[in-house]
Amino acid sequence: MTTKTCLALALALVAFCGCQRTVEARLAVLGAVPGQVATLRETTFDQTIAEGVTLVDFWADWCAPCQQQSEILAEVAQAVSNRAVIARFEIETSKKRVKQFKLEYLPTLVLFKDGKPLQTYTGLTERATLEKAVGSGSRQ
C-alpha cells in the first residue's frame, strides 16, 4: 500500500468512528508533516482549527517582527510536533480573519483548542511561552 492510500484509509476510519484525527493527519491535509510549520489559507482555516490544539501565527510580509516570529515558530513546531498543529496565516489574504479576531498588531498568535480560542499573544513571543501554552492547551 502506498503512503497516500494508508493516509486515506486512516482518515476514513477516523471519520467513521467519530474520533479526532492525529496531528499528523491534520498536517497532511495542509501538505505538512509533524515538526513543520503549516501554511493556512482561508479555505483550510476553519477545518484546521476545528479539532485538537492549533497555534496560529497571524502575520504579514511587511512586518519585520513577523519574520523573527517565524524563526521561533519553526523551533516550537519541532518541539511540540505530535501535540499540536503549528501554522501561519497571512492576513493580507483575508480581511475576514482580521475582523474576526480583532487583529490590531502583528505578529498575533492565537492558541485554539477544538475551534475555540484559548489564548492570544500579541507581539514577538518567546519560544518557551509558546511551548508552555501548547502544553497547557493539550491538557485541557
- Told to judge if 63 belongs to the known catalytic residues of this protein, a careful annotator would answer yes
Phi, psi of 75 (to 5 degrees): -70, -40
- Told to judge if 6 belongs to the known catalytic residues of this protein, a careful annotator would answer no
**What domains does the chain contain, in order, with CATH numbers?**
3-139 (3.40.30.10)
DSSP state of 34: T
Question: Out of 6, 17, 19, 66, which one is annotated catalytic?
Answer: 66
pLDDT 10s digits, 44-95: 999 999 999 999 999 999 999 999 999 999 999 999 988 999 999 999 998 9
**Confidence label for 6 from pLDDT (cuts 50, 70 and 90):** very low
pLDDT of residue 42: 94
**Mean pLDDT computed over every residue of the chain:** 86
Look at the pTM and tell me if it is higher than 0.85.
no
Strands in 21-135 per DSSP E: 38-39, 53-59, 85-90, 108-113, 116-122
